[in-house]
Amino acid sequence: MNILYCVIAVIAAYLLGSIPTAVWMGRAFHGIDVREHGSGNAGTTNTIRVLGWKTGIPVLIIDMAKGWLAAMLPVFLKIAPPGSAQMTNLQILTGLIAILGHIFPLYAGFRGGKGVATVAGAMLAIHPFLTLACFGVFLIVLLLTGIVSVSSMSMGIAFPVFLFTLFDTPSLLFKIFSVFVAVALLITHRNNIKRLLKGEEKKLFRKKEPPSL
C-alpha cells in the first residue's frame, strides 16, 4: 500500500467534502447565505425551502457527488486490490473524511450541513445495492410523512439493519461504519428530533390552503 497515495486521498477527500455547495450557490444565484435563513443548515432541504427546487436539486446532486468521488479516490489511485477488505476500508476512510468536510467545511468557516447527501454518495460508491435499498426506505418514509428529517434518520437506521441482515461485506470496518452513520445522523438531527416531539417539524410538501371566499 502506497502511504503517499493514502495521504493524498485523505487530503483530497476533505477538500472535496468541504465544498459548501448550498452556501456558494445561494450567494452566486440569490445573493444570500442559506445558513442565515430557514433552519440555518447548509444542506438540500433548507436550500429547497429557502431558495427553491431549481437550486436545491443541483445542491443535492453535487453534495452526493462529493461523497462518491471521495470514496472512489482509493479505487482511482489503485491503492489496494479491487474488491478487497483493505480497499473497502480505505473507501470508508475517505468517505468519512468527506462527510466531516461537509459538516465542518474549510471554505465556509467550518459551518456546514448535516452530511446526509454526502453520506449517501459515499455509500453509493462503497456498496451500491445496499445504498439503493436505503434510498427506497428514504423515499417510502418521505411519501408517507412528507418530513425529510424523519426520512433521513430512517434511511440511516436502515443502513446497518440491512447490512447485517440482507447484505454482506468482507470488511468488519464497514459494519462498524454503518452503525457510526446511523448514530451520527441521529446526533446531527437532534434539533429536528426536538421539533418532532413538539410537533413543530415542517414538511417538505406543504398542502396549498384553499382560497378564501
pLDDT in tens, the chain (213 residues): 688 999 999 999 999 999 999 999 999 999 999 999 988 889 888 999 899 999 999 999 999 999 999 999 999 999 998 888 899 999 999 999 999 999 999 999 999 988 889 988 999 999 999 999 999 999 999 999 989 889 989 999 999 999 999 987 778 888 888 898 899 888 888 888 999 999 888 887 655 444 444
- Return d(Cα 160, Cα 176) in angstroms, integer: 8
Neighbours of 72 (CB within 10 A): 20
Helices (H) and strands (E) in the chain, counts: 10, 0
- Do the Cβ atoms of 189 and 114 come closer than 8 Å? yes
The C-alpha cell at 55 is 437550486
Q: What is the rounded CA–CA span in Å between residue 25 and residue 10?
A: 25
pTM for the full predicted model: 0.81
- Per-residue confidence (pLDDT) for residue 212, from 0 to 100: 42
- How open is the CA angle 141-142-147, to the nearest 5 degrees? 110
Q: What is the pLDDT of residue 158?
A: 95
Contact of 32 with 26, CB cutoff 8 Å = yes
* Among the listed residues 147, 163, 132, 135, the one whose alpha carbon sits nearest the alpha carbon of residue 197: 147
In whole angstroms, give the CA distance from residue 193 to residue 97: 25
Compute the distance between CA of residue 106 and CA of residue 136 in angstroms, rounded to an integer.
32
Residue-level pLDDT at 1: 64
What pLDDT score was predicted for residue 206? 59
How far, in whole angstroms, is CA 100 from its chain's centroid? 10
Q: What is the dihedral of CA 26, 29, 31, 35, to 10 degrees?
A: -10
What span, in angstroms and rounded, lies between the C-alpha atoms of 205 and 45? 11
pLDDT at 59: 96
Burial of 194: CB neighbours in 10 Å, binned 0-12, 13-18, 19+: exposed
